[in-house]
Chains A and B, each alone.
Chain A
Amino acid sequence: MTKKQKFIGAKVNRLEDDKFLRGNGRYVADINIPGTLHAAFLRSPHAHAKIIKINTDKAKSIPGVVGVWTGEDIKDKSDPLIWKMPIEEMKLSVQPLIAHDKVKFVGEAVAVVVASSRYIAEDAVEEIEVEYEPLPVVADAEKSMRPESVKVQDQLEDNIILTKKLSKGDLENSFKEASLVLKKRFKSNRYMASPMETRGCLASYDKANDFLTIWSSTQAPYWFRSLLANTLKFPEHKIRMVAPDVGGGFGQKLTLYPEEVISCVLSIELMQPVKWIEDRRENFVAANHAKEQDIELSMAFNEKGRILALKGKMIGDSGAYTATPFTMLSEVMNSVVVLPGVYDIQNVEAEFFAVLTNKSPVNCYRGIGWTAMYNVRESMMEVAARKLGIDPIEIRRLNMVQPDQFPYLSATNVLFDSGSYVESLNKLRELVKYDEFRKRQSELRKQGKYIGIGFCPYNEPSGVGTEMARSTGFPISTYDSVIVSIDPSGKVTVKVGASSQGQGHQTTLAQITADHLGVPLEDIRIEAGDTAAGAYGMGTFASRVAVIYGGAIIKAAKVVREKLLTIASFMLKIEKEELEINNGSIFIKGMDDPKLSLAEVAFSAYFIPENRPKDMDATLESKQTYDPPSTVSNGAHAAIVEVDIKTGKVNVTDYYAIEDCGTVINPTIVEGQLSGAIVQGIGGSLYEHLVYDEQGQLLTASFMDYLMPSATEVPNIIIDHLTTPSPTTISGIKGVGESGMISAPSTILNAVQDALSPFDVSFEELPLSPENVLNKINAGIEERERMVL
């Protein structure tokens, strides 16, 4: 017979790239409806101030201006953004759509202008006069926790939104019996996803049908439609939310933002479409920041290097509000989830604080919460290795969950379903030619050149379903649905709730559909990101789409395939079990000649009742949901760096990643996802930093001062795969993509510390800017000189 088609695992070129490479992508800004009005926001220059008076007369008098709304004008037209996880002790943060009474961070909206063009709207913003009375500012989480601190949100008794302590095992004796106890406090820097496409939305209210459509650059159209309806108090079935092409999200577009709600409020009021496209200056202050955490970690080791216990205190500097719906808990609580990482440690304690400050709100960014914990834990692993005279790879191998331990339940309740932990580390060691590297390193040191190597094994809780979410402290449900349908011509449409921000769903989901239905790729269209399709889903985040949608597609494809085979069997008068579908045709198993095309079968289903069993429901469609059990992908990363000890500049020369995400759908896409995340991790470890002064002023609010890695900073990235299919998920697929952000910052941190080991350097914060590096080198030299004296 003709060769059985196999798209899963194949390096299929991305089907969506044709349009993107030709510049034919269609983003929110590209959508034009006649009569559209344009919004522009006035934003606060103060981190904390009372609004005494706002005069909008001059702005309103400019020709072309339709109206100006302040917080007072808008507060009765919609609820504010109020959201909390269903965790009893969590305090309720209230975010007004536009600030009234007081502003709480630099960049918070103070007024919105709607005009016939964006130019006019921007000019009018300049004519709004606001009188502020500055209030004391708290721009540091630790200070914000003190009882005497100013309050960020007046209705709360203090600035701590949630604090909790979790404990498992015997901490006291573990630390008592330890031969080595290490303690480190590490500040992970605040930085942000900088998607190429900034945020934006277009709201259009149709008065005749009392129907609201909003196109938004979002990662979760279905879920956010629910939240939007709830906030606006507008019936959900009369809202359509569409995520068209979205140019990068990374978590930044996983918040329902005030601007989206305001655009809807104003479109309903004006009965005209209202569009707002964020500019880069706004994105720096008004889009969510990420990652800032201050962690103190204590680790107890025995003399062989085995970790006996771990104890952590995490303080998350979360900004002025808690983002809807993931909230400021996501950052710190995800640090708790990965406290032991890949290691078998059952004695753990964690205490976390999610704290308000007068800074931009913090929310998700790839590897949320994981980056900060890996930074501190993995740099301590290397210190322990040095102190105990054990090789940094060996100490990790020793402590890892071993091959015979799966399935393994971590101390923080994550079920490690399967994995190649030890194997990936061994493979990495070979890949980097470790022994050769050490020789080269010592030769170069004699010439005054400092190269170093750093490691970081990781695992990634992925495809998070309700089970894992709940077991790790997030009392939410997460599932998604798909609709697989075949039209009369035999072509396939797959409707999914998740939109793509560049992940390549059009390709990967089509590959899964193709194999499970037996149709060619070109006969499949993935329809995503439009609530009109009716395939409710939570959205695209947390490395979940391949696992969850993959599973749902497989379930739905099976139902549709059975129907196709039932009709074909009826038409051919051959037992269903003897038939199969391959490459868009019906075959008798083992035979070469197709007996029917799918088009013939589909046409019969729709139009020829004589060709199908009498009582059959012939709709060639199935809607299925999937809520997967826990699955955790894994791998290990290494980096080689060169540090210029005169300038403090770090150059990442080579980067290596071993990746095991179970069944691979498309190796090229996995490598693309990983490479992107690694570069984002390089940015976070060496360059990107949102620096605030004590007055809550953001000092790095443009790409001149907020440095992003460019092509010249990207090293040679070598990726290799291991495949341990998940025994728990329908497809064997595990999630992928965030590992670059979990591992790259600590891998590079460790490589730099290794390069500078003659100076006994240990960093306490990121990024490793030339200044930070040089200070450490100089302190190391002074220390050495002092010892000599």
Chain B
Amino acid sequence: MNFSGVEKFHYSRENVWSAMHDANVLEKTIPGCTSLELQENEEYLVELQLGIAAIKGKYEGTAKIVDLDVPCHYELYAEGSGKPGFVKIKMDCVFEVIGENECEMSWKTSVETGGLIAGMGGRVLSGVAKHLAKKFFTAIRKELEVYEEVKITG
């Protein structure tokens, strides 16, 4: 299953980029995230608690961000599993400057599911994904209001 979207931000590209790489910000903004820890291998250990229809449950998994072109392009790989089954996500994020302190993020996600999430959640999955994406970007904007830009070193 594939999803995509475009988000506009009234912040500099660098600002948004670094927020999206900040574990503290991500922990607060990823919907249902109860814990997010950066491991030594640069992978995040993630715990989620989701409460929507057939995908309700606790999920544990890992996430990894691979920067392809700082601060323009990164890919996020995440996979998790819980009682309702498993989810594997690949997200491709491209940032473009569209004005002074204005940038745009285009994202494309492919999702693979298994178990009950596939068997019973299929019909609600695209709705749920849209809902979660909206929740995430709303939370990110809120964080950006108080976010102090960290200089990008990568």
- The interface of chain A, by Cβ under 8 A from chain B, is 43-47, 106, 125-126, 281, 284-285, 693, 695, 697-702, 704-705
Contact = CB atoms under 8 A, between A and B. Distances in A.
A125 B112 CA distance: 23
Give the 3 A-B residue pairs with the shortest CB-CB distance, closest first: A45-B115, A701-B119, A697-B118
Interface stretch (B28-36, B70-78, B80-88): B80-88
17 contacts: A43-B115, A45-B81, A45-B85, A45-B118, A46-B86, A106-B115, A125-B83, A126-B57, A281-B119, A695-B112, A697-B119, A698-B119, A699-B118, A701-B116, A702-B120, A704-B123, A705-B120
A695 B119 CA distance: 12
B116 A695 contact: no
Given A45-B117, A125-B83, A699-B118, 4 more contacts: A46-B114, A106-B118, A281-B120, A693-B118
Give the residue among B54, B113, B115 with the most A Cβ atoms within 10 A.
Answer: B115
A697 B114 contact: yes
A624 B122 CA distance: 54
B120 A704 contact: yes
Given A699-B122, A701-B120, A45 B112 contact: no
A697 B113 contact: yes
Contacts of A700: 119
Interface in B76-109: 81, 83, 85-86
B123 A106 contact: no
Contacts of A697: 113-115, 118-119
Contact of B122 (A43, A47, A705): A705
A338 B25 CA distance: 66
Contacts, number: 52
Contacts of B122: 699, 705
Contacts of A695: 112, 114
Contacts of B120: 281, 701-702, 704-705
Contact of B119 (A46, A126, A699): A699
A700 B119 CA distance: 5
Nearest to B88: A134
Contacts of A46: 86, 114-115
Contact of B116 (A45, A693, A705): A45
Count class of interface residues, chain B:
10 to 19
Contacts of A281: 116, 119-120
A698 B83 contact: no
B4 to A, nearest CB: 20
A571 B112 CA distance: 83
A56 B54 CA distance: 24
Contacts of B54: 702
Contacts of A126: 57, 83
Interface string B39-76: 00000000000000010010000000000000000000
Interface of B: 54, 57, 81, 83, 85-86, 112-120, 122-123
Contacts of A45: 81, 85-86, 114-118
B77 to A, nearest CB: 15
A47 B119 CA distance: 12
Given A45-B81, A45-B85, A126-B83, A698 B123 contact: no
Given A45-B81, A45-B86, A126-B83, A106 B112 contact: no
Contacts of B114: 45-47, 106, 695, 697
Contacts of B119: 106, 281, 284-285, 697-702
A232 B102 CA distance: 71
Give the residue among B54, B86, B116 with the most A Cβ atoms within 10 A.
Answer: B116
A106 B114 CA distance: 8
A771 to B, nearest CB: 15
Nearest to A706: B119
A248 to B, nearest CB: 22
Contacts of A47: 114
A572 B85 CA distance: 77
B35 to A, nearest CB: 16
B81 to A, nearest CB: 7
B118 to A, nearest CB: 4
A705 B119 CA distance: 9
B57 to A, nearest CB: 8
Contacts of B112: 695
Contacts of A698: 118-119
B20 to A, nearest CB: 28
A697 B112 CA distance: 10
A44 B116 CA distance: 10
Nearest to B81: A45
B121 to A, nearest CB: 9
Contacts of B123: 704-705
A408 B120 CA distance: 50
A46 B79 CA distance: 14
Nearest to B124: A704
Nearest to A696: B114
Nearest to B83: A126
A697 B116 CA distance: 9
Nearest to B120: A702
A33 to B, nearest CB: 30
A704 B121 CA distance: 10
Give the residue among A44, A126, A284, A701 with the most B Cβ atoms within 10 A.
Answer: A701
A765 B121 CA distance: 26
Nearest to A122: B83
A695 B112 CA distance: 9
B95 to A, nearest CB: 32
B114 to A, nearest CB: 4
Nearest to A697: B118
A160 B62 CA distance: 38
Contacts of A44: 115
Nearest to B122: A699
Contacts of A701: 116, 118-120
Contacts of A693: 118
Nearest to A49: B114
B7 to A, nearest CB: 29
A230 B76 CA distance: 53
A259 B28 CA distance: 44
Contacts of B85: 45
A695 B118 CA distance: 10
Contacts of A284: 119
Contacts of A705: 120, 122-123
Contacts of B116: 45, 281, 701
A697 B113 CA distance: 8
A46 B115 CA distance: 7
A284 B119 CA distance: 9
B153 to A, nearest CB: 35
A143 B106 CA distance: 37
Nearest to B114: A45
A59 to B, nearest CB: 12
A693 B114 CA distance: 10
